[in-house]
């Protein structure tokens, strides 16, 4: 190709390089979506080259702007941009290396096994990917969490003359994102909170995977977002860099609300044959069409994965130069800040590196033995407040149930996060469980230790976000109360049954269902030190006994997932009774009565199957010896999965139906959760 003459030629050449890299990668993989990258290449190019504060040489720079591709099917758009911008890779220790995050060979291995260019972007695999996207609307939700984090950090760490943290968040959304409920919930909250650092770029291409968007979607998106309290602006042609630049400037000058930029684009723009055809969206173009498109771009039609002369330099002199200067200025400023505010700087460095402050676990409550006891949601509230006092960046809230979930942070200075009042630690998510999950993930990706809370039954509304938290290996904290038929009169619509089993089936999700108040404290210790995946904490509404730890084993056994709570002298039981949560006390009561009858029982508290499975064979054998086949498991939830611990000869007392609406004592009787039933089951498995 001949050398381009002008800046405009270089812009177009660079944009067409993004497009053709996407086309070639999709064609070679024989899988993927070329349409969105073709249509959106100018939108992303203009943003990265002129507006995004981002240094490709340091993709972990804390004050970088965040770029989120919520339309994750357009992943090649992001990979091509990361490649051309020269973004560096970060290794497992968090160090920036000399290697490219997305080298050309990885673009050629798009959608192939063990590549760093999977079909939808994954943040734990590919440096420069800020969050894992693909399930539509999730990235939009994450972006709101990132914007909340930026506002909160600015308010708590910036000082006069030291604007250390004030990053903006940009998210690319398509029709699918804006149809999904999670994005609607997130947009509603973002508008309410007046998050002026948030910009969504809506790819208005009027096409979905099935066909024209008008088959299923005819709402006035702009009016809807005005109703949410957003600033809305429009660019009528995705190829018009000047108007795109003006729209980004409108965002940067808007200081009182989030901005939606509606960009009218054509799927597969530039193809003379498929300009308005949705077929280019969800499948490769085919060799013949690829040639026609390349001809239309003035591209050598047989060249594959071509980066023409001048394109790498164009990015180096654009985002590369701007980003390096911005980061250098920030670094110099941060050095001054460290001298002026050493304590704050230390907090930030610990937060960014995933460490906890010294004394993070000081003053944690210890609960005295008490037959009546307290609900684990109550002991959780006390523990959470102590931890949040000790860990300044532990922040979160509830889906309109803070008083029920006991997640209100009430210590001096905790405060609330309100529109234009961004200092507080209590976030009011409103009745928006799904967005709450996605937002907490976005806050966690921004290095806060963020928690969400709602009733356990409504984990179903959060599940897609929780699954992505597990996939991303991020330490988000999901707190759930009202964990069983113990909810009582609210009835089966609010009584979780299958949720425990289904979350236990999720890879990389740590679940803890503590058996008394002191187990709650130990559970929190595990959660705060668990950095490579999310934690789910499952708590009761009803009071349950606090065990006498001078008589029974210490609660520190929680750290191993399951432990022997009560045992026979000599440690050789005839029968093992095991349970999690509120049902542990039933096993302890049964154990005492069996002991009086001369039957040798052992009680195993099992707050976390996942932690127990990580222990070595010797420890597992010491808790559940293979020689003891007589076993009873008790849990007010689906029996599914317990057979792995009870074995073929054991019995499971659990739920095999939905619950019912009635006072707790009647429910326990109806569904068989009584000490007598546990004793009867123990005798049955012993053949007595």
Structure tokens at 260: 């939606």
Return d(Cα 154, Cα 156) in angstroms, integer.
6
Question: Residues with Cβ < 8 Å from 643, sequence gap 6 or more?
Answer: 650, 652
Which residue's structure tokens are 């979350």? 503
Q: Measured between alpha carbons, how far is 562 from 613 in angstroms, rounded to an integer?
A: 9
How far is residue 273's CA from residue 202's CA, in Å, rounded to a whole number?
A: 25
Nearest to 449 by CA among 471, 479, 411: 479
CB 384 within 8 A of CB 376: no
Tokens 């000081």 label which residue?
A: 362
The residues pairing with 202 across neighbouring beta strands, listed in sequence order, are 173, 262
Where is 638: in which H helix or E strand?
A: strand 631-638
CB atoms inside a 10 Å sphere around CB 648: 6
Can you give the three-state secondary structure of 341-393, one letter per residue? Answer: CHHHHHHHHHHHCCCCCCCCCCCCCCCCCEEEEEEHHHHHHHHHHHHHHHCCC
Contact by Cβ (8 Å): 376, 540 = yes
The DSSP call for residue 4 is P
Q: Pull the structure tokens for residue 2.
A: 């001949």
Rg (CA), the chain: 28
Q: Is 33 exposed, middle or buried (0-12, 13-18, 19+ CB in 10 A)?
A: buried
**Cα 623 → chain centroid:** 33
Residue 334, strand partner residues? none
**How many C-beta atoms lie closer than 10 Å to residue 129's C-beta?**
29
Reading the block at residue 51, the tokens are 């507006």
Percent helix, strand, coil in the chain (nearest 5)?
Answer: 45, 15, 40
Residues belonging to the chain: 688
Q: Catalytic residue among 433, 519, 583, 635, which? A: 433
Dihedral class, residue 529 (left if φ above 0, else alpha if ψ from -120 to 50, else beta) = alpha
Q: How far is CA 308 from the centre of its chain?
A: 39
Lookup result for tokens 């013949």 = 288
Q: What are phi and psi of 283, to 5 degrees?
A: -155, 160
Contact 579, 653 (CB under 8 A): no
C-alpha angle 129/150/392, rounded to 5°?
Answer: 110
Query: Is 433 one of the catalytic residues?
Result: yes
Active site residues: 433
């Amino acid at each position: 190709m001949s050398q381009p003459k002008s800046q405009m030629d270089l812009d177009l050449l660079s944009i067409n390089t993004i497009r053709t890299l996407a086309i070639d990668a999709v064609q070679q993989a024989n899988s993927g979506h070329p349409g969105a990258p073709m249509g959106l290449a100018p939108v992303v190019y203009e943003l990265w080259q002129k507006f995004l504060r981002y240094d490709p040489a340091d993709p972990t720079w804390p004050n970088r702007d965040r770029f989120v591709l919520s339309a994750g099917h357009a992943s090649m758009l992001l990979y091509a941009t990361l490649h051309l911008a020269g973004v560096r890779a970060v290794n497992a220790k968090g160090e920036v290396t000399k290697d490219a995050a997305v080298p050309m060979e990885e673009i050629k291995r798009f959608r192939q096994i063990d590549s760093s260019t999977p079909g939808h972007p994954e943040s734990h695999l590919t440096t420069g990917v800020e969050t894992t996207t693909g399930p539509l609307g999730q990235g939009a939700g994450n972006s709101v969490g990132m914007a909340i984090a930026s506002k909160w950090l600015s308010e708590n760490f910036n000082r006069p003359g030291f604007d250390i943290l004030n990053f903006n968040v940009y998210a690319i959304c398509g029709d699918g994102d804006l149809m999904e409920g999670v994005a609607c919930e997130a947009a509603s909250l973002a508008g309410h909170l007046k998050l002026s650092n948030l910009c969504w770029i809506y790819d208005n291409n009027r096409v979905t995977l099935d066909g024209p968007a008008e088959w299923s979607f005819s709402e006035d998106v702009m009016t809807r977002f005005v109703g949410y309290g957003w600033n809305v602006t429009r660019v009528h042609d995705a190829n018009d860099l000047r108007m795109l630049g003006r729209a980004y400037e409108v965002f940067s000058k808007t200081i009182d609300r989030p901005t939606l930029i509606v960009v009218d684009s054509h799927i597969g723009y530039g193809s003379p044959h498929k300009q308005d055809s949705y077929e280019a969206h969800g499948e490769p173009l085919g060799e013949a069409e690829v040639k026609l498109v390349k001809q239309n771009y003035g591209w050598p039609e047989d060249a594959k994965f071509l980066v023409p002369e001048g394109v790498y330099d164009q990015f180096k002199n654009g985002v590369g130069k701007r980003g390096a200067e911005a980061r250098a200025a920030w670094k110099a400023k941060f050095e001054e800040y460290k001298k002026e505010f050493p304590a704050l700087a230390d907090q930030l460095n610990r937060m960014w590196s995933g460490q906890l402050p010294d004394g993070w676990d000081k003053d944690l409550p210890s609960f005295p033995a008490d037959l009546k006891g307290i609900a684990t949601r109550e002991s959780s509230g006390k523990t959470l407040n102590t931890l949040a006092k000790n860990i300044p960046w532990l922040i979160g809230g509830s889906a309109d149930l803070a008083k029920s979930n006991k997640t209100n942070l009430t210590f001096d200075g905790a405060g609330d996060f309100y529109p234009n009042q961004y200092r507080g630690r209590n976030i009011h998510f409103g009745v928006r469980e799904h967005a709450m999950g996605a937002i907490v993930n976005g806050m966690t990706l921004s290095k806060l230790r963020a928690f969400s809370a709602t009733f356990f039954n409504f984990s179903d509304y959060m599940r897609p976000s929780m699954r992505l938290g597990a996939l991303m290996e991020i330490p988000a904290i999901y707190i759930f109360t009202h964990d069983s038929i113990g909810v009582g009169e609210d009835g089966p619509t609010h009584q979780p049954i299958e949720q425990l089993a289904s979350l236990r089936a999720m890879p990389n999700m740590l679940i803890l269902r503590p058996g008394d108040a002191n187990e709650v404290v130990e559970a929190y210790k595990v959660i705060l030190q668990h950095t490579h995946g999310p934690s789910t904490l499952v708590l009761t509404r009803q009071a349950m006994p606090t065990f006498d730890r001078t008589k029974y084993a210490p609660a520190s056994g929680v750290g191993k997932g399951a432990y022997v709570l009560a045992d026979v002298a000599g440690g050789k039981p005839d029968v093992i009774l095991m349970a999690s949560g509120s049902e542990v006390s039933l096993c302890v009561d049964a154990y005492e009565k069996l002991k009086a009858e001369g039957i040798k029982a052992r009680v195993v508290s099992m707050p976390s199957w996942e932690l127990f499975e990580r222990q070595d064979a010797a420890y597992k054998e010491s808790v559940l010896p293979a020689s003891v086949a007589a076993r009873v498991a008790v849990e007010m939830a689906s029996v599914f999965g317990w057979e792995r611990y009870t074995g073929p000869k054991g019995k499971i007392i659990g739920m095999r139906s939905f619950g019912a609406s009635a006072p707790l004592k009647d429910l326990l009787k109806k569904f068989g959760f009584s000490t007598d039933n546990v004793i009867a089951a123990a005798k049955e498995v012993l053949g007595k």
